[in-house]
Structure 1
Amino acid sequence: MSLAQIAKSFNIENGKRDFPRKFTQSRFFDYEGPIPGDEYYGLDNKPAQKRKDLKVFLETERSSGRVFNSIDVL
């Protein structure tokens, strides 16, 4: 069960978002720039609907020009 699902099961609203887990390498610790590529989010390990929703979200964020800042996200 994911952390988001655990919170939901206890009726807790949280701001947890999907984090590009494969992006947690020392060379990216102070990264600031475009949203990391899909390959960093482990999409293959997510249920089909979650994967689809996340892809739509990432595409929307990227097209809006949103900047990813590792320090702010962590």
Structure 2
Amino acid sequence: MAHANKVLRSVNLDGETICVDVFVRPDGSFGFDEFRRDPEDGRGWYSIGHHGMRSYSSEEAALRAAVDTVGWLGDALDT
């Protein structure tokens, strides 16, 4: 079954094995989560932040919360 959330922005940490996605849900609320993938493991991306249930009123609010929560994200956005 396809995931219902629509990713609006995805930021990868160098090496492309960790990322943060900012997304909008079908109900119009926004959220974010931090994910990891291991190239040798074919299962794909999985949540390591477990922030996906938090809800925000805008994409900007979700991105601000992500920057405040995920230590490396602010530096990655500055580059």
| Between structures 1 and 2, the one with greater helix share | 1
Q: Which has the larger radius of gyration?
A: 1
Mark yes or no: TM-score above 0.5.
no
TM bucket normalised to smaller: under 0.3
In the superposition, the TM-score normalised over structure 1's length comes to 0.24
In the superposition, the TM-score normalised over structure 2's length comes to 0.24
**Which fold has the larger relative contact order, with Cα–Cα distance below 8 Å and residues 6 or more apart in sequence?**
1
| Between structures 1 and 2, the one with greater strand share | 2
